[in-house]
A and B are shown apart, each in its own frame.
Chain A
Amino acid sequence: MNIEEALKTENAYYAGEFDAAVVGAGHAGCEAAHACAKLGLNTVLFTLHLDSIANLPCNPSIGGTAKGQLVREIDALGGIMGKVADSCCIQMRMLNRSKGPAVYSPRAQMDRNSYSHAMKCLLEKTDKLLIRQAHITELLTDDGRVCGVMTESHAVYRASKVVICSGTYMESRTIRGEVIALTGPDGLSRSVGLSASLAEAGVPLLRFKTGTPVRVNGRTVDFEKLTRQDGEHDIPPFSYDNEMRGGKVPEEQVPCWSVWTTDETREVIEANMDRSPLYSGVITGIGPRYCPSIEDKFMRFADKNRHQIFVEPLGRDTEEMYLQGFSTSLPEEVQIKMVHSLPGLEHAHVQRSAYAIEYDLVDPLSVRPTLESKVIEGLYTAGQVNGSSGYEEAAGQGIIAGINAALSFLGRKPLILDRSQAYIGVLIDDLVTKGTQEPYRMMTSRAEYRLFLRQDNCDLRLTPIGHEIGLVDDERYKLFEEKYKKIDEEKERLAATYIAPTDELAELLESVGSVRPPSSVSLAELIRRPQVSYELLATVDKGRKPLPDDVIFAVQTDIKYEGYLKLEKDKIAKFAELENKKLPRDIDYEAIGGLRLEAGQKLNKMRPENVGQASRISGVSPADIQVLLVYLELKKRENRDGRQ
């Protein structure tokens, strides 16, 4: 349907023109709309529920392993998730502290209602951005190109860029045992018609499922029987901007709790498995392996007698608690029995039921690395609609989709982050190159270069890019430059400052299990020793000036891991070789002798941007890649010889 056809429908009216329209105000939609508006596009953001903007319908937390890195990357590019999360944080922890800086992962508990409210206020105050509560039922296209959207009430909006961030709302249904409700998450109304409109335009769709656990009233929980888990304070906030301005995580934090399932839990589940929609066949969507329901855990890991459950507050003032790890789609009455089988929760009052949710999504293999559709020009998709799971994964795609929609509108070069630059790059490359069979969760192990993709250097990796694009303002960029100038200067000073192997030094080193150096050594050499920290050397390092924590952390990490980082940089250089070999768009892969049939077909279908991306397509073997390389080389020689 195009604009003219839309305007001919019953009661239709023309509602105006925007440069960009963003459909859905979840974590992806908020970042996308904010990026578009900041880059100068007149932007409209549609949401089904104004009071549920940036909703956290599952975990009341942001960050965690790999996800924490994503939040900081978004912030470094000039996104908003980190700042909003900092302002609503009620507990913060740094996971994996003992496992090395590459996998340090910040995670924060959020005050759920504050988060949604803060995001709404921020967007309302953003220039060039308008928010509109409306139900988009139709994508308008003209000759394979996006031209606008139409609402349920037949308001017709013209826009040459449309970013769809529909989350889990398209044609969704929620399931508790035998009870099926045609709603979105949290009992909110769902999106109807949009996915049919996409399908009609030729966009391939998939159907996934995910789920969420029950919430209980904390006043009915006996916390004496639970293990308490407090937050930490010596952690930088998510946002680099806040960190560089001396921002800290909140002094007063709220505890989380943990508890183990019991034999009774298992018995309740086993006795009711026949009522599980997953096992009875009611649910057909594909669920995530990484976030299985509790009944799934008991069924698939039959040798494990118990599972750990975390009890997390939904806010500072509310008594509502979230049971992480207790997701289920069993019937309500079974859910209550299951909760009561947990020690300390024998009398817990369930405020909200757990449910499974099924939804329509776009097959990410039909999406380009810019997040523009291969099928419809000007259409971008981001977030769970592309097959991911998680708020952070959604926001990471949202900012890229928003940036690329804007850059394309402005006639500028698109932004594609590669696998060596950012977790966001890994995430998008995985989705659009390999596709996914289940809701895709970011994990640090998916990144080949994670020593370099750390949570502490996202700004080094991405802030210059954000500044060049125009999302990071000059003032913040200046702070960034000053920070790295201090880091470089301090590293130089430590490398050039030698100290004698005095008794004082030896005593200090021996106190941490290290040994006296044979002769004068530089401070950098000492810091490179596994047991020695920058802080330890304070008493012997006479020329030291006070420096901010982030600078010290970066200096210490760079020095300690220099050799390993170099190894990783060499790998990145190798990786770049294949990434830089562009594949012309007009190659007929099936006509290349030597490519296996399957590989030829896959490559013709996927049309990768470069040899690196081609090498990651399933069904394309390393030998096929060698053939492609030989082919490109022959073509190059042919062209060169042809010119002579």
Chain B
Amino acid sequence: MDMTVSDSRPFCACSTPPGTSGIAMIRVSGEGAGKILDRCIRIIRTSSDAERISDMPGYTSAYAEFYDPSDKSSIDKVIITRYTAPHSYTGSEMADISCHGGTAVKQEILSVLISLGMRYAEPGEFTKTAFTAGKLDINEAEAVMSVINAESEAALKAANSQLNGRLSKRLAEAEDLLYRAMALIEMIVEFPEHDDTPENDSEVISLTTEARDIVAGLRDSYGKGRILTESLRIALCGLPNSGKSSLLNALAGYDRAIVTDIPGTTRDTLELTTQIKGIPVTLIDTAGIRRTGDKVEAIGVERARQACADSDLTIYLAACDEDADEITAQMKELFENNDNSKVTLVFSKSDLGINPGGDKIRQAAQDLNITAIAEVSSEETIRDEAGLAQLKDLITDYYEKAGGSSSSDIIVLAKRHSDLLAAAAEQLDMAISTATDGLGVDIMSSVIRAALDNIGKITGKTVSAELADTIFAGFCIGK
């Protein structure tokens, strides 16, 4: 009996992200996939003497022509890699077709495959099939998700290490400590009259504390993991023409935003994702807001406030040629009553002079508890300036601190893992306090058990009914 009895047709999907790209990959899986491909692909060159796709040995590739069998018209020249069951990602017969990345080409290839009897893959179906075929454990499946979503090299590195089981290994250490603590508790409880029974629970507490530190460290590492998978968000704000776009371009390393000297050019918030020192960063250029009675501007202020609130870091630019009263008024509007420890005040266009109201602005910053201050110019030279370097350091510092107390080189990437670790850490804290409060060890062991359950949901040692569905629902189509 096949696991996919509900529809046993081979399925296909584009594995590369939607939109136009240089090259795209279409993946097909399922028994009979090769036979279907025979009817729409002509091999031009391959390492074996196979003339049809279904005759190709596994792990070989062919340069081939993909055509529409209804009128024999050529669609694209493709590279096809064949996998035979069970030696494939999904465990069944499989092929990857690399084609040119235009939307039309991808659509045509997929519609030919459908017309020949395949069906579109359901979200996450490739991985689900791989999982049910016993090819992946839950951790690996989630790491694959992270690989798909990881945008930067650092994320890939962390995801790879997770695939290799480093997270599981570290968690196994914590589990081992907790099982030892539980065993001691059981000795105390089960054999109250036994002379081997420990006098008190001090060893239980120290084992639990050690495990808590591991778990809490991993939990904290998600601060970095989140940045690696979702990027560090930096909001840039200031009056129109305060040099936000110049700074954004300088940080991004290329001209992304249109830089003009007509105030108000950047009317809506603009997002740009780049990497700074290997850290994925999203720069949010908020609209420059002039203080007028304009309703649209009022909405703009609210939007900027929100952008700052949602960001990891906020940079407020104060140009040398802007009115200091207007700057301080806007700063108040944006930052009053907030925790402004993540806000940096940047004096921009420093090459054009010094703002005569500089002291006033500094005083306003001080009143708002904004302590970080930098200075950048408006010219091309900005890229080599100390001010820019200072901002970049701010970013790397923030990234490093996002990992909290975690000194470990293992970075947790999935939100689900982080939530479970947070719950487990909290329970272990609770367990430790039950002991110090003098509540019975029965409570302590119950809470430790609950923490172990949560850790087990990451290592796959606990089974919960909703787990598989939650994981699979998180997969994008085609992987």
Cβ–Cβ contact A530 & B439, under 8 A: yes
Q: A530-B437, A530-B438, A567-B450 are in contact. Are A596 and B190 (CB under 8 A)?
A: no
Complexed CA–CA distance, A102 and B441 (Å)? 9
- Residues of A contacting B212 in the complex (Cβ-Cβ under 8 angstroms): none
Interface string of B451-462 (1 = CB under 8 A from A): 001000000111
Cβ–Cβ contact A622 & B461, under 8 A: yes
Number of interchain pairs (Cβ within 8 Å): 141
Smallest CB gap from B186: residue in A: A445
CB-CB contacts below 8 Å: B449-479 with A: 449-450, 453, 460-469
The contact size tier of chain B is 35 or more
B3 adjacent to chain A (CB < 8 Å): yes
Smallest CB gap from B201: residue in A: A99
Q: A615-B463, A623-B460 are in contact. Are A593 and B442 (CB under 8 A)?
A: no
A594 adjacent to chain B (CB < 8 Å): yes
CB-CB contacts below 8 Å: B119-162 with A: 128, 131-134, 137-138
- Residues of A contacting B447 in the complex (Cβ-Cβ under 8 angstroms): 564, 567
Cβ–Cβ contact A630 & B133, under 8 A: no
Within the complex, the shortest CB–CB distance from B149 to chain A, in Å, comes to 22
Q: A308-B194, A581-B465, A594-B133 are in contact. Are A100 and B440 (CB under 8 A)?
A: yes
- Residues of B contacting A592 in the complex (Cβ-Cβ under 8 angstroms): 1, 3
A451 adjacent to chain B (CB < 8 Å): yes
Complexed CA–CA distance, A450 and B137 (Å)? 31
B6 adjacent to chain A (CB < 8 Å): yes
Cβ–Cβ contact A571 & B443, under 8 A: no
Q: A307-B195, A308-B193, A622-B463 are in contact. Are A591 and B442 (CB under 8 A)?
A: no
CB-CB contacts below 8 Å: B281-307 with A: none
B2 adjacent to chain A (CB < 8 Å): yes
A577 adjacent to chain B (CB < 8 Å): yes
- Residues of B contacting A102 in the complex (Cβ-Cβ under 8 angstroms): 440, 442-443, 446
Within the complex, the shortest CB–CB distance from B76 to chain A, in Å, comes to 34
Q: A308-B195, A591-B1 are in contact. Are A564 and B443 (CB under 8 A)?
A: yes
- Residues of B contacting A564 in the complex (Cβ-Cβ under 8 angstroms): 434, 443, 446-447
B189 adjacent to chain A (CB < 8 Å): yes
- Residues of B contacting A627 in the complex (Cβ-Cβ under 8 angstroms): 3, 132, 134
CB-CB contacts below 8 Å: B176-193 with A: 182, 186, 188-193
A11 adjacent to chain B (CB < 8 Å): no
Within the complex, the shortest CB–CB distance from A203 to chain B, in Å, comes to 32
- Residues of B contacting A588 in the complex (Cβ-Cβ under 8 angstroms): 1
A545 adjacent to chain B (CB < 8 Å): no
Cβ–Cβ contact A101 & B460, under 8 A: no
Complexed CA–CA distance, A96 and B442 (Å)? 10
B262 adjacent to chain A (CB < 8 Å): no
Smallest CB gap from A65: residue in B: B190
Cβ–Cβ contact A623 & B439, under 8 A: no
Complexed CA–CA distance, A113 and B464 (Å)? 50
Complexed CA–CA distance, A444 and B132 (Å)? 36
A625 adjacent to chain B (CB < 8 Å): yes
Complexed CA–CA distance, A560 and B440 (Å)? 11
A284 adjacent to chain B (CB < 8 Å): no
Complexed CA–CA distance, A73 and B190 (Å)? 18
Within the complex, the shortest CB–CB distance from B428 to chain A, in Å, comes to 13
Interface string of A426-462 (1 = CB under 8 A from B): 0000000000000000011100101100000000000
Complexed CA–CA distance, A594 and B90 (Å)? 11
A531 adjacent to chain B (CB < 8 Å): yes
Complexed CA–CA distance, A539 and B434 (Å)? 28
B5 adjacent to chain A (CB < 8 Å): yes
Cβ–Cβ contact B463 & A578, under 8 A: yes
Contact of A99 among B138, B441, B462 (CB under 8 A): B441
Segment from A125-133, A153-161, A263-271, A631-639 that makes contact with B: A631-639
Within the complex, the shortest CB–CB distance from A138 to chain B, in Å, comes to 41
Complexed CA–CA distance, A634 and B2 (Å)? 11
Cβ–Cβ contact A571 & B465, under 8 A: no
A318 adjacent to chain B (CB < 8 Å): no
- Residues of B contacting A37 in the complex (Cβ-Cβ under 8 angstroms): none
CB-CB contacts below 8 Å: A616-644 with B: 622-623, 625-627, 629-631, 633-634, 637-638, 641
Residue with the greatest number of chain A CB neighbours at <10 A, chosen from B189, B194, B427, B445: B189
Cβ–Cβ contact B134 & A531, under 8 A: no
Within the complex, the shortest CB–CB distance from A471 to chain B, in Å, comes to 29
A9 adjacent to chain B (CB < 8 Å): no
Contact of B468 among A101, A445, A530, A626 (CB under 8 A): A626
B4 adjacent to chain A (CB < 8 Å): yes
Within the complex, the shortest CB–CB distance from A300 to chain B, in Å, comes to 12
- Residues of A contacting B466 in the complex (Cβ-Cβ under 8 angstroms): 577
- Residues of B contacting A443 in the complex (Cβ-Cβ under 8 angstroms): 186, 190
- Residues of A contacting B427 in the complex (Cβ-Cβ under 8 angstroms): 567
Contact of A101 among B91, B186, B442, B445 (CB under 8 A): B442
Contact of A100 among B193, B441, B450 (CB under 8 A): B441
Cβ–Cβ contact B442 & A630, under 8 A: no
Complexed CA–CA distance, A310 and B461 (Å)? 41
A487 adjacent to chain B (CB < 8 Å): no
Q: A450-B446, A615-B463, A623-B137 are in contact. Are A593 and B2 (CB under 8 A)?
A: yes
Cβ–Cβ contact A578 & B6, under 8 A: no
Complexed CA–CA distance, A443 and B188 (Å)? 12
Cβ–Cβ contact B460 & A622, under 8 A: yes
Complexed CA–CA distance, A278 and B138 (Å)? 46
Contact of A571 among B192, B439, B450 (CB under 8 A): B450
Within the complex, the shortest CB–CB distance from B7 to chain A, in Å, comes to 9
A574 adjacent to chain B (CB < 8 Å): yes
A561 adjacent to chain B (CB < 8 Å): yes
Smallest CB gap from A589: residue in B: B1
A296 adjacent to chain B (CB < 8 Å): no
Complexed CA–CA distance, A95 and B182 (Å)? 19
Smallest CB gap from A577: residue in B: B465
A509 adjacent to chain B (CB < 8 Å): no
Cβ–Cβ contact B446 & A65, under 8 A: no
A98 adjacent to chain B (CB < 8 Å): yes
Cβ–Cβ contact B3 & A594, under 8 A: yes
CB-CB contacts below 8 Å: B226-266 with A: none
Smallest CB gap from B137: residue in A: A623
Cβ–Cβ contact A593 & B132, under 8 A: yes
Cβ–Cβ contact A626 & B131, under 8 A: yes
- Residues of B contacting A103 in the complex (Cβ-Cβ under 8 angstroms): 189, 440-442
A568 adjacent to chain B (CB < 8 Å): yes
Q: A308-B195, A630-B3 are in contact. Are A571 and B453 (CB under 8 A)?
A: yes
CB-CB contacts below 8 Å: A580-594 with B: 581, 588, 591-594
Contact of B463 among A99, A308, A625 (CB under 8 A): A625
Complexed CA–CA distance, A133 and B440 (Å)? 48
Interface string of B92-109 (1 = CB under 8 A from A): 000000000000000000
Complexed CA–CA distance, A95 and B191 (Å)? 9
Complexed CA–CA distance, A282 and B463 (Å)? 44
Cβ–Cβ contact B5 & A638, under 8 A: yes
- Residues of A contacting B469 in the complex (Cβ-Cβ under 8 angstroms): 633
- Residues of B contacting A629 in the complex (Cβ-Cβ under 8 angstroms): 465, 468
Within the complex, the shortest CB–CB distance from A369 to chain B, in Å, comes to 19
- Residues of B contacting A626 in the complex (Cβ-Cβ under 8 angstroms): 131-132, 138, 463, 467-468
Smallest CB gap from B446: residue in A: A451
The 3 A-B residue pairs whose C-beta atoms are closest, nearest first, are: A100-B440, A100-B442, A102-B442
Residues of A within 8 A of B (CB): 65-66, 95-96, 98-103, 304, 306-308, 310, 443-445, 448, 450-451, 530-531, 560-561, 564, 567-568, 571, 574, 577-578, 581, 588, 591-596, 611, 615, 622-623, 625-627, 629-631, 633-634, 637-638, 641
Q: List 18 A-B contacts (CB under 8 A).
A: A98-B440, A99-B189, A306-B195, A308-B193, A308-B195, A445-B182, A445-B189, A568-B450, A581-B465, A594-B133, A596-B134, A615-B463, A622-B461, A625-B463, A626-B463, A629-B465, A629-B468, A634-B4
A451-B446, A593-B132 known, 15 other contacts, Cβ within 8 Å: A95-B192, A95-B193, A96-B192, A99-B188, A102-B446, A103-B440, A445-B445, A567-B427, A578-B463, A588-B1, A592-B1, A593-B2, A626-B463, A634-B3, A637-B6
